A and B are shown apart, each in its own frame.
Chain A
Amino acid sequence: MIFTESRFLIFFAVAFCVYWVLPRNRPRKICLLALSYVFYASWDWRFLWLILISTGVDYVAGLWLERAAESGPRKRLVALSLVVNLGFLWWFKYYNFFVDAGVGLLDLLGWEGDRERLHLNIILPVGISFYTFQTLSYTIDVYRRKMRAVSSFLDFALFVTFFPQLVAGPIVRATHFIPQLAAKKLFRDVNVRACLTLFFFGFFKKAVVSDNIAPITDQVFADPGLHDTLSNWIAVLMWHVQEYCDFSGYSDMAIATAGLLGYELPLNFNFPYFARNISDFWRRWHITLSTWFRDYLYVTIGGSKGGVYRGIMTGCVTMLLVGVWHGAGWQHAGFGLLMCGAIIVARLWSEWVPKGSRLRRTATLLGPLLINYFLFINWIVFRAESWDKCMDQFRIFFFLGGAGPQSVDPRWILLFVAFAAVQIVLFYRLYPKAITRLNDYAWAAVIGGATALVLVLMATDYQPFVYFHF
């Protein structure tokens, strides 16, 4: 059930009505939990047990952590939670990758490994990377005594499975969400207009922009060698737009649907393509993931304490794991490695180039351009379907030949220009202020008319969200 599908719109309309008709908080939460399980089962009912085990283990671990006073048992409990949650993640997401890597290594050493026999015929449970990190953050926060354990299983289960953010985030922290479950929800507190506007924006980004671009990027990335340099460039530019619109569109819709139910989810994107440097990019892109890694990994292994080189090392470890979080494949590790390279350059730059120097001022000015160019290169690795195809695309991208005929209409560049223009207008607030002060009737007319237009502009068919694969 994808947010842009009519099935979801019907599902949500029913959920919204039933939820607000119920008189008290507890039945509402039970209703939300049941709906969340139905929502997850609409992907694949077989993996409900996985969520239930994850929920159960962390719920019990949280309660025991609360009771345990000594350091030893507390460490064992948090280790148990890590092993179970990361174990599931490893099994479903990384097992086959490690088999391939191990067999490859054996091949290099002259032993022949039976890859097929060791491979597991398993599919990746949708959302596993998201809810695993969510439950882990809870156990770690209770372990660090940043929050008290949740005594209500209902509240905890709802925190894990709350359907607006269950399958692709934002990754919500227990410290952020659990207190909201205790508060009584009043419909009058819901900013319906703001939520509907945000949902509309998210819908537009996904159904109109991302879904219409998908066939082009799919075609070129499937075999870059069959297309010329211009087509490959356009595909990379289009992926730049698609990736952002797809994921931030999903996040907008998740935040909006949660908002309509009276819950607040954290911001996940904040104009990432206007970032001035790599650290700034990660403060703006998939914010809930980068802050998760910052708080639970980067800081834990030392952060920037201990000097520049230590900071570089911790930064690189974090970036490598951020890359691998996205998927089990060399391209995701490569994505992480490129990010490591960027971290190293950025750290050394800030260390060696004096503040206030002309060079530094120029680099700051050119920062967004450099970051975007770096991302183009990074997307080639990130989006590649195999290492060979990745290398093919690099060769063609940098005009080193080997390209096929032109296959993509150059007019698609106009879409990139339009996307950049809209982003600039929004970022620098170059729109008339009257737009922000429309009365309700004018707003209703704009949304009504725009909806008619969006239906026409939608792609023929739904495309799954890119981040469902992660």
Chain B
Amino acid sequence: MTETLHRPEETWPLEPPRGPHPGPGGAAARLAVALAAFLAVHLVLRAVASPGGGGMVGSKREHFALAAERYDTVFLGSSHVYRSFVPAEFDRVLAEHGVASSSYNFGIQLPNQAELHYLLRETLAAANGRLRRVFVQYQALTPQVDPEQAFIPRNVYWHDLEDTALSIERSWAIDSSAPGGIRLAPDPKRRHAILAILERMLPSRFYLARQHFQHLVKREAMVARAKDVARGLLGRPHGMTGMWGRTRGYLSLEDAGRSLAEEGNERNSILRRREAFLAGHDDWLAHIGRLRTEDVVWGDQEWMNAEVERFSDLEFYRRMVEDARQVGVEIVVVVMPSNSCDRPFEARMETELGVPVLRFDRPDDYPQFYDPELRFDSGHLTAAGAVEFTRVFAKEYLSLSRGG
């Protein structure tokens, strides 16, 4: 076959069929053999692959999978969590008050709520009963539906059957309940493509459901996981896995910026964010002023995926609370000192889910976290700010757990 396909000066058709086509039974048998071989190879690859999700997420997952027994406390959330909780400081404050703790910062950049649910489930499973408490951030982030980013590992890895089903179900519910549905920006490259036009005629929940389903298929087929398989085969962890063992998942923005600068990227995006923040500080303060007077304020627009209107969906939190409580893990929702708020939703989490909510989004109560001394940029704290925040947070938590 190969010979005929590549024989120089040979023209198509390659070769005549050698005999009659197999009957339906024969074709089914050949298909079964192909499927069996596919499955055999697939299962081997799956067994050796290291955790997916891309660099930082993969490495944090890998570290936790390897060292889950070391931790009894996990902080789960976005980069706000990642840059704000210093596990060593949290454990120190709790120890001072006679409470044992060994914590891990599982903050990752730009998660959406379904992704957090997946990570919580994975964390609970890996900890195997050792976990005592988990702090989950409340932050309204959107599903990732940017066509340019649709199939990056980060958007695919968490689409197991349960979270794909949940995502589809919630896309359906949210689209139906939101006035005018979820608004999808058309992909400019496919504005005149007939299939895209037909798709736009349907409610956007169909689009979202299709995309979540594609993610599930890609995840289960291990599409584009070559690096993870190679790492697994060679026994090489993700680049940052070792570092998380030392820092327990925390890295300050200053350290990250310095590290990039040492690699030759002196004008890196982290340091530029700081400069931009200081330059536009007055505007930012004006925006923060709205947190004092308004119940709902959206900030951090530059992070947001403009494809879909942002939303807060209680269902994701309900599932998280149920999953944690089912295995006897204490769950607390944290609202970080961010520049946005949705106070009615925060209240609903307390009243409808019965979950304690620790709120730090009130500049009057915590003015220090809105001061450039402790604030690195519009959304994150400095290294000193992270230590201070962790200290304040730990005390608030202790007060809460003692019924204060």
- A residues near B (Cβ < 8 Å) are 1, 6-7, 38, 41-46, 187-194, 197-198, 201, 255, 259, 264-267, 270-271, 274, 405, 426-427, 429, 431, 433, 435-436, 438, 440-441, 443-453, 455-461
Contacts and interface: CB of A to CB of B under 8 A. Distances in A.
A455 B1 contact: no
Contacts of B41: 448-450, 452-453
B222 A7 contact: no
A192 B13 CA distance: 11
A265 B11 CA distance: 9
Interface of B: 1-6, 8-17, 20-22, 26, 29-31, 33-42, 45, 150-153, 192-195, 197, 214, 217, 221-226, 229, 264
Given A405-B264, A456-B222, 18 more contacts: A38-B194, A44-B192, A44-B193, A189-B17, A190-B17, A191-B13, A194-B14, A194-B15, A198-B14, A426-B6, A435-B2, A436-B2, A440-B30, A445-B37, A448-B36, A448-B38, A449-B40, A450-B41
A137 B66 CA distance: 65
Given A270-B9, A427-B8, A449-B41, A456 B194 contact: no
Contacts of A191: 13-17
B20 A456 contact: no
Contacts of B36: 445, 448
A451 B31 CA distance: 13
Given A45-B192, A452-B45, A440 B22 contact: yes
B146 to A, nearest CB: 12
A191 B30 CA distance: 15
A460 B151 contact: yes
A370 B9 CA distance: 22
A6 B193 contact: no
Given A267-B12, A460-B153, A431 B34 contact: no
Contacts of B153: 460
Nearest to A426: B6
A452 B195 CA distance: 29
A304 B78 CA distance: 70
A460 B193 contact: no
Nearest to B45: A456
B12 A266 contact: yes
Nearest to A193: B1
B193 A447 contact: no
Contacts of B15: 191, 194
A423 B218 CA distance: 31
B194 A460 contact: no
29 contacts: A6-B214, A7-B195, A38-B194, A42-B195, A45-B192, A188-B20, A191-B13, A191-B17, A192-B17, A194-B5, A266-B11, A267-B11, A426-B6, A427-B6, A431-B2, A440-B22, A441-B30, A444-B33, A444-B37, A448-B38, A449-B40, A452-B38, A453-B41, A453-B45, A455-B221, A456-B45, A456-B224, A460-B152, A461-B150
A464 to B, nearest CB: 9
Sorted nearest first, the 10 A-B pairs with minimum C-beta distance are A448-B34, A448-B37, A41-B194, A452-B41, A448-B38, A445-B37, A444-B34, A449-B37, A452-B42, A194-B14
A134 to B, nearest CB: 17
Nearest to A1: B195
Contacts of A459: 224
A451 B1 contact: no
Contacts of A188: 17, 20-21
Contacts of A45: 192-194, 197
Given A45-B193, A46-B192, A460-B224, A449 B38 contact: yes
Nearest to B222: A456
Contacts of A443: 1
Nearest to A268: B12
A444 B3 CA distance: 18
B33 A448 contact: yes
A193 B192 CA distance: 36
Contacts of B22: 440
A438 B1 contact: yes
Contacts of A193: 1, 17
A203 to B, nearest CB: 13
Nearest to B6: A426
Contacts of A6: 214, 217
Given A267-B10, A451-B38, A201 B151 contact: no
B223 A455 contact: yes
A266 B224 CA distance: 32
Given A188-B21, A433-B3, A457 B38 contact: no
Contacts of B193: 41-45
Nearest to A211: B224
Contacts of A44: 192-193
A46, A405, A450, A458, most chain B CB atoms within 10 A: A458
A435 B152 CA distance: 36
B30 A444 contact: yes
Given A194-B4, A444-B34, A449-B38, A456 B229 contact: yes
A230 to B, nearest CB: 16
B13, B29, B152, B153, most chain A CB atoms within 10 A: B13
Contacts of A448: 33-38, 41
Contacts of A461: 150-152
A429 B5 contact: no
B21 A194 contact: no
Contacts of A446: 37
A271 B37 CA distance: 31
B213 to A, nearest CB: 10
Contacts of A194: 1, 4-5, 13-15
A86 B42 CA distance: 50
Contact of B3 (A41, A198, A436, A440): A436
Given A187-B21, A441-B33, A444-B31, A456 B225 contact: yes
Contacts of A426: 2, 6
Nearest to A7: B195
Nearest to B43: A452
A189, A426, A460, most chain B CB atoms within 10 A: A460
Given A426-B6, A448-B34, A255 B12 contact: yes
Contacts of B150: 461
A172 B4 CA distance: 22
A426 B8 CA distance: 10
A188 B21 CA distance: 6
Nearest to B221: A455
Given A191-B13, A191-B14, A266-B12, A456 B1 contact: no
Contacts of A456: 45, 222-226, 229
Contacts of A405: 264
A452 B41 CA distance: 6
Contacts of B33: 441, 444-445, 448
